[in-house]
Structure 1
């Protein structure tokens, strides 16, 4: 995600009205200790009981939807339509993962596979990580915080959420709802700055981080030092490829929404477009017309972080200085801007912009488009537009990104069955997907003898007879042809 989302961490309480109240960073360990104390009883509940608690929380979110959306708009400046997406998204995740959890968490008994295992009873059980730390940025405070918290809670973990210090109120208010329904204390929030995020990373058993690549490296370093797992969703510089057989009108509409939604403050925003020459002029014309119609405050809100405006302005100034032309905008960093005549010497083509700036490049063919799309240290997601499904899939398979949307944009975000993970500097591991609940568990193997002999064939004492029996039995079970099975070769 955006390079400016480095401030991660703090202990916060909610005052009951949805305002996050900072506590000293030293208190984070106390919150985690309380969560850790309550987690064993939570994990011991039947999965169906945890599902029921999530169902009650889902109903609470519906009942408080308007209040939470108002807090989102106050903190982030999102238009009402965009603020209205986060609660339904979380609720859909609750419903989906609640259906999947019983099967994913059920004990499994693998079949014996060979000579040494044939006399053993095999059992695999899922044991949750005791405390999961979810550290999230300011662009989607509720969605990103609860999207990871939900499957972790279903898995039997306790969860501490650390929202960005810029957007603590909506998250604090939403997590206060867990206490409002009388649920066990296995979900809490801590609010504050970078030192609080560091304290979370230093004390939990699994770190789920969403933020910049720079901060992600620091989190990964802490996880490596402590030997705890982490999952990182980091920055993106997502490319869109428009081929010469594409529906130009749909592609242009997708490009504008993909670049400008949430004021461009999305890790999966369309940040660069490569268009085959045959449809370039028509595409650019329609993109410019669509972008020019966007309304401030209705379609596009302000930057959540003032620092982000400076990044976008720097990218814009650099591009114009190097010869790019602005067909729309070009004066204000928070206004929709469409650039042409851009190349990979410009910051807006190589660094994550995280703002409503859309550079468009003419390419000769799909090979050049793929080469330029892959010419990035990021690999979060991408978009391909083509009227030929097989051609689009062929191109998609050549793009170095964790997700590729065909004739659509952001579609991978709304398909909860699909994992969302970045390649290269865009992350480590994945969030979501059909197995999201199992991600927060450690598989434990339990093996028991079916028959309790005084001693096993492989135990002491070693004798020629035992070795001969083992050799014979292993050939009978493991060989796949008669000659080797009976030692005739």
Structure 2
């Protein structure tokens, strides 16, 4: 097996001098590989090759593509330790974070889309009340767009980057993935697996590079799927508008967790700590802010503080660390800025609050109290291992504050009266809400995953998560027909009056105010 760096060179070929991107291990700060920073001409050539092979991939049908995806499902599990090693080398995750959020998702997704693509994309027979199409066969067909571009983030290089390619491939599209320049190695490893499992050459390609590579990709494809910050998502949408290229965007989040007075505080505290610190807090739907009803605030804070102090941070082997390093150096700066801003405005740091010392990109798991909405940690996406906790007088205040955000990706509500907790959840402006749980909606691939407000456009998962990679085509089949329809030329007054009476009979019986 070639080394990671050798695989990069073999997969992408040579690049002009000076156009290589260094890839760092964020836990150590050491450069572990280099990948090409591909230009517009290279992306254009990749697109040409992809379009040439896409018809044959589509012609395999759901069954043929499904067999390859099922082989890939097994490949991921058979090679999990190698994949985890690559993921950890470029993200700084713990072993457990990589296995739970990346390997388990990848393995599930390959099987899910192999099984469900034929279901979600099957021809749909349609019935119509219009007399003009009576007796005709009406069909909605889902036809692959052709070439899909995916621009992925650095926080989940398998799940949120490569993962969006799986349904696009299952639908019959060719795919070009532009992974984050911070974490490109996982995508290249999975390209290796797809080739081993039988995906034809050029059906799936990886375009390594910086922002210019993503812009070039947007110009060449029939649809673009982007996951990342809201600011960058707007730029992608602006670029796509120039060619009227459809977009699907999964953007930023500032997900609230509400603790009602009757909540199981032990479960709520465990969930807040785990889903706030999971993957170093670098999860689009992580718990980013907590609102606790006043009667249980002190008890909840005490539990969270105790659990946060027990967290182990490091980059050791399986079972030795709970929270890994951060992945993207500028993100550490943002986390530090949010914590310092909160402190300057009166917040207290109960646990952590500082950068890690030594090599790599580390920030301590941090718990903040006495926070409010004048502070960046409660209003801007932090994307790091922080948990700000705010006391509220009642559920109404919690709902108001939870909705006081431009974001609306996910939310959580904890309360033993599940009917009341669900009622609170239904009032939150969020694409997903979990009751007495957090984030687990993402593992239910049957559910749509998408954001409200500035958190994105479109969804992944569910029927919509694969239909967005298709063009809906309406088909009308006339089996038994006269030589000439009644309404055809030449017009005459008798037929026109007859049609007018028919329309009145069909549509003129509605109630009027």
* TM-score scaled by length of structure 1: 0.92
TM-superposed deviation, 1:261: 0.8
- Cα distance in structure 2, aligned partners of 1:342 and 1:436: 37
Aligned residue among 204, 216, 236 for 1:199: 216
In the alignment, what sits opposite 1:52? 67
Match of 1:116? Answer: 132
Contact map agreement 1:13 1:22 (CA 8 A) in 2: no
Q: Which residue of 2 aligns with 1:5?
A: none
| CA distance 1:35–1:382, shift in 2 (3 Å) | same
Following superposition, which runs of at least 4 residues in structure 1 exceed 6 angstroms of deviation? Answer: none
2:77 is matched with: 62
Between stretches 355-364 and 472-481, larger displacement belongs to: 472-481
Q: Choose from 169, 186, 202 the match for 1:153.
A: 169
The answer to whether structure 1 residue 349 and structure 2 residue 364 are counterparts is no
Contact 1:294 1:300 in 2 (8 A): yes
2:232 alignment counterpart:
215
Aligned length: 472
SS at match of 2:183: coil
Matched, 1:81 2:79: no
TM-score normalised according to structure 2 size: 0.88
Provide the C-alpha distance between the structure 2 equivalents of 1:45 and 1:182, rounded to a whole number of angstroms.
12
Say whether the 8 Å CA contact 1:457–1:470 is kept in structure 2: no
Q: 1:24: how far off?
A: 2.9
Instruction: Report if the CA contact (8 A) 1:114-1:478 is conserved.
Output: no
Deviation at residue 246 of structure 1 after TM alignment: 0.2
The structure-2 alpha-carbon separation of the partners of 1:331 and 1:124, relative to structure 1 and needing over 3 Å to count, comes to closer
User: Contact 2:123/2:139 (CA < 8 Å) preserved in 1?
Assistant: yes
From the superposition, tell whether residues 151 and 11 of structure 1 become closer, same or farther in structure 2 (CA, over 3 Å): farther
Structure 1 range deviating more: 188-197 or 329-338? 329-338
Change (3 A) 1:12 1:461: farther
3-state SS of paired residue (1:301): coil
CA distance in 1, matches of 2:10, 2:343: 43
Q: Which residue of the partner structure matches residue 35 of structure 2? A: 21
Q: How does 1:26-425 map to 2 (within 5 A)?
A: 26=40, 27-85=42-100, 86-185=102-201, 186-297=203-314, 298-332=321-355, 334-425=363-454
Q: 1:176 Cα deviation (Å)?
A: 1.8
Check whether the contact 2:120–2:463 (CA below 8 A) recurs between aligned residues: no
Q: Equivalent residue of 1:216, what SS?
A: helix
Answer whether contact 1:311 1:353 (CA < 8 A) is retained: yes
The offset of 1:208, in angstroms, is 0.5
**What does the per-residue CA deviation read over 1:400-439, in whole Å, with 9 as the maximum and x for residues that have no partner?**
1111111111111111111111111111111112442222
Where 2:296 maps in the other structure, the secondary structure is helix
Q: Give secondary structure in 1 for the equivalent of 2:109.
A: helix
Q: What whole-Å deviation, never above 9, does each CA across 1:304-339 have from its counterpart, x for those lacking one?
A: 111111111111111111111011112337101111
- Counterpart residue number, 1:4: none
In 1, Cα distance between the equivalents of 2:57 and 2:134?
36
Name the counterpart of 1:3: none
Query: How far apart are 1:192 and its partner, in Å?
Result: 1.2
CA contact (8 A) 2:138 2:475 kept: yes
CA distance in 1, matches of 2:254, 2:128: 47
Distance 1:29 1:64 in 2: 32
Residue 401 of structure 1 aligns to a residue whose secondary structure is coil
1:5-32: CA deviations, max 9, x gaps?
A: xxxxx999358xx967315312011111
Instruction: Tell me, in whole angstroms, the C-alpha distance in 2 between the residues paired with 1:192 and 1:265.
Output: 22
